[in-house]
């Protein structure tokens, strides 16, 4: 199990105080905090071997290239990809999905074709497909959720009968915390001839991901949600698919040769990485993956499972409170993301009062507006989310903060 006391020593921001109270950070689903090992890796690059990659024959350029490439190998290992040739660095998971829609989508989606996603999706896995469907005059279909807020697998099987060219779904919901049966869904989609993209932004930091076992064609995730820097993420794709996809951006580093009339593309994965890379981001991302590997994904899963179980049990005793997503009886089908509402309290007011108590949480539609509006019948919900540095004592502060919300808003007198 995780020694949280030791881990917290690596995160300087967790020593911050607000109004004399230590920061309680419960918004890791939005972005995670960074350990000194990541901060130092980025700082060391800037201070001791800052140089461009792939271009210099001098020592610090060679080292920068090696460290950057090594981070891709670490990312490939983290999700069990075949090699780093299947790891394309992008700005974030959003850009990864857009690249698939712009490159694979523009080449393969024709007028009248079907694109299938679910009503559980983040905007990043909705809007690119809406844009593609509009460009190509294709049909965008949605798989509904069942009453338990899981993907309705019967509806999924029925929608697959429409023979979609591509299926895209989230591995883990950023609102409900639900872990979807990715392997089963991919198998069903493949049996109907579809290519599959999995949005792993909320999965890769928290649960073991094996893209070979899942057998997805594309997988997207971001560095900043797994202790690494912002501005860098991963598009994983099977090598044969990447080979046949045209690049989206043109320029330096993605070419093998350039002539006035025609250019030839570089080998994978550089074919999709035009211009100067986010070198420090890649190096910091590599340091983050090393840190997480040191903790161990199974330990991460067990820690989050335990703290989420504790939180759900404590929150169940709060009157006038609704919690969305799988309950305690299905704890193994969710991660440490808990969205909730308190009767009579707007989520923004909840977050503001929590902030006065030194607790950072998220409030709003969480970039999943259709899900929050239509399935939860709310315009916004409050959300707490956990990671390796959170403790049960911090859950206790949430209970105290909820009492403060009720006191400030005079909800106890209603």
Q: 86-90, 123-127, 328-332: lowest mean pLDDT where?
A: 328-332
Which of 293, 312, 343 is the endpoint of a domain? 293
Same structural domain, 281 and 325: no
Same structural domain, 174 and 275: yes
pLDDT for 254 equals: 75
In a domain, 161, yes or no: yes
In a domain, 334, yes or no: yes
Which one from 41, 74, 138, 367 is the annotated catalytic residue? 367
Same structural domain, 337 and 237: no
Question: Do residues 219 and 185 lie in contact, with contact meaning Cβ atoms separated by under 8 Å?
Answer: no
3-class secondary structure, 403: helix
pLDDT for 265 equals: 78
Identify any residues that bridge with 115 across adjacent strands, giving them in sequence order.
140, 166
Residues contacting 71, CB < 8 A, separation 6+: 282, 283, 285, 286, 289
Same structural domain, 59 and 81: yes
pLDDT tens, residue by residue, 352-404: 999 999 999 999 899 888 899 887 777 899 999 999 999 999 999 999 999 99
Same structural domain, 231 and 273: yes
In a domain, 360, yes or no: yes
Beta-strand relationship, 359-360 and 24-25: parallel
pLDDT, average across residues 188-211: 98
For residue 175 the two structure tokens come to 């609102």
Same structural domain, 281 and 300: no
Same structural domain, 149 and 243: yes
Cα–Cα distance list, 64 to 83, 87, 249, 284 (Å)? 20, 18, 23, 12
pLDDT for 255 equals: 76
Task: List phi, psi (to 5°) of 141.
Answer: -110, 150
In a domain, 335, yes or no: yes
Same structural domain, 78 and 224: yes
Structural domains in the chain (count): 2
Same structural domain, 19 and 160: no
Looking at every residue in the chain, the average pLDDT score rounds to 94
Please check the confidence at residue 333 and state whether its pLDDT lies above 80: yes
Which of 268, 293, 318 is the endpoint of a domain? 293
Please check the confidence at residue 413 and state whether its pLDDT lies above 70: no
Same structural domain, 187 and 217: yes
Please report which helix (H) or strand (E) contains residue 222, including its range: strand 218-222
Same structural domain, 119 and 254: yes
Q: Cis omega before residue 269 (within 30°)?
A: yes
Q: Is 216 a catalytic residue?
A: no
Helices marked H in 80-119: 93-100, 106-108
Distance (Å, whole) CA 407 – CA 355:
15
In a domain, 315, yes or no: yes
pTM beyond cutoff 0.85 = yes
Same structural domain, 247 and 304: no
Distance (Å, whole) CA 262 – CA 6:
56
In a domain, 163, yes or no: yes
In a domain, 413, yes or no: no
pLDDT tens, residue by residue, 13-26: 999 987 788 999 99
Which of 293, 320, 355 is the endpoint of a domain? 293
pLDDT-derived band of residue 256, with 50, 70 and 90 as boundaries? Answer: confident
- Owning domain of residue 343: 4-30+296-408
- CATH code at 138? 3.40.640.10
- CATH code at 391? 3.90.1150.10
In a domain, 414, yes or no: no
């Amino acid at each position: 199990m995780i020694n949280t006391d030791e881990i917290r020593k690596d995160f300087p921001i967790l020593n911050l105080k607000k109004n004399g109270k230590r920061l309680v950070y419960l918004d890791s689903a939005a972005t995670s905090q960074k350990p000194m090992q990541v901060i130092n890796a980025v700082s060391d690059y800037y201070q001791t071997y800052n140089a461009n990659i792939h271009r210099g024959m001098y020592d610090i350029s060679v080292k920068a290239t090696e460290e950057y490439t090594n981070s891709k190998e670490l990312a490939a290992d983290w999700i069990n990809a075949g090699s780093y040739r299947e790891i394309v660095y992008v700005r974030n998971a959003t850009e990864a999905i857009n690249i698939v829609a712009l490159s694979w989508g523009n080449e393969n989606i024709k007028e009248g074709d079907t694109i299938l996603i679910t009503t559980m999706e983040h905007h990043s896995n909705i809007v690119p497909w809406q844009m593609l469907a509009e460009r190509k005059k294709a049909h965008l279909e949605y798989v509904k959720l069942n009453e338990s807020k899981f993907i309705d697998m019967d509806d999924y099987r029925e929608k697959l009968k429409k023979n979609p060219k591509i299926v895209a779904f989230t591995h883990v919901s950023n609102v409900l915390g639900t872990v979807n049966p990715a392997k089963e869904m991919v198998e069903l989609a493949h049996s109907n001839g579809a290519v599959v993209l999995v949005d792993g932004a909320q999965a890769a930091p928290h649960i073991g991901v094996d893209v070979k076992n899942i057998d997805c064609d594309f997988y997207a995730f971001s560095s900043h949600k797994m202790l690494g820097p912002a501005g860098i993420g991963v598009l994983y794709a099977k090598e044969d698919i990447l080979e046949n996809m045209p690049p989206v951006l043109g320029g330096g580093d993605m070419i093998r040769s350039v002539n006035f009339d025609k250019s030839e593309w570089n080998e994978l994965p550089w074919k999709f990485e035009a211009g100067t890379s986010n070198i420090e981001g890649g190096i910091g991302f590599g340091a983050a993956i090393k840190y997480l590997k040191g903790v161990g994904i199974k330990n991460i899963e067990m820690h989050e499972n335990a703290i989420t179980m504790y939180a759900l049990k404590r929150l169940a005793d709060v009157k006038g409170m609704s919690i969305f997503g799988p309950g305690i009886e299905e704890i193994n089908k969710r991660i440490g993301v808990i969205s909730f509402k308190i009767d009579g309290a707007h989520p923004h007011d909840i977050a503001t009062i929590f902030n006065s108590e030194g607790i950072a949480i998220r409030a709003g539609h969480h970039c999943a507006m259709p899900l929050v509006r239509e399935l939860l019948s709310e315009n916004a919900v409050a959300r707490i989310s956990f990671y390796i540095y959170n403790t049960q004592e911090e859950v206790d502060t949430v209970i105290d903060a909820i009492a403060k919300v009720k006191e400030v808003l005079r909800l106890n007198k209603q």
